[in-house]
Amino acid sequence: MIELSGDPDGRWQIGFAGDTFNALWTMRALLGSETKTDYVSAFGDDPFSSRQVAFMADGGIGIASSPRLAGARPGLYAITLDGHERSFTYWRSDAAARQLASDPDALAASLAGRQLVVFSGITLAILEQQGRRTLLGQLARVRDAGARVAFDPNYRPRLWPDADLARRAMTDACKVADIALPTFPDEQALHGDDDQRHTARRMAEAGIGEIVVKNGTDPAWLQVGAEGSAIPAFPSARPLDTTGAGDAFNGAYLAMRLRGVQPAEAARVAHRVAARCVETRGALTPHAEIVAAAGSSGLA
């Protein structure tokens, strides 16, 4: 999506961001050049879409076989800050990304041969029912072929017609996921979970073997199989903008896991990267700063 981020002097900066893209941006910073990264979606043919694709390419991120749709354009959101906490205003009803599952052959080609595929509840929310079925079916196939699938429910009530539909869609998504990266307040709002362990237990019962329940600056709860533990957060002393912090956590965690780092240490690195993210205005932290934050744990 196009991101409008306000400066303290009232000026607006234009960038490109979005939850799964933010995670991929962080992953790209922490993975070697031999690891191919693509953002699978659908794109328009307008100048902003062209700038969007070029921005991704400059960051080392391709678009695989994602279609370019005539007359389509990106979605748009604006960040409003109250101190360092953020809120969003969206314009996305006709965004090209809503068509990411409209061409099943292109989607299958984009997902084929992947080590890891990441999707979110926002991905599900912007699709029509048939698109959700198509996406989840394709994810089940690539998982059967050997890919790991990671899911962040990222519940945003305004994107769903009602909570019941969101719960059903999230439950179906959990059935195709190997790794879950939920945020506790979202899970509490949608499912009524009592605490992070409740969230992890519910997702484990759905068949997910590796779960990290984020909770802002409080410890994350890590559940791998039957073993659970709290992983202390790494609060920033200079918070500026919390936009994208959870996405940065996701990307750092998944990058570390791809590099063979064990889950508990991967979560500690992810906390450090998320802390650096909140010191940056907008959703995306410069790659060099991501590497520096991860390197403070001796892993980059």
Neighbours of 132 (CB within 10 A): 20
Catalytic annotation present for 247: yes
Across 63-97, b (16+ Cβ under 10 Å) vs e yields bbbbbebeebbbbbbebebeeeebeeeeebeebbb
Contact 126, 160 (CB under 8 A): no
Which of 19, 152, 241, 247 is the catalytic position? 247
Q: CA distances (Å), 100 to each of 110, 168, 262, in order? A: 11, 20, 33
Contact 100, 68 (CB under 8 A): no
Contact 206, 171 (CB under 8 A): yes
Number of residues assigned to the chain = 300
- List residues with catalytic annotation: 247
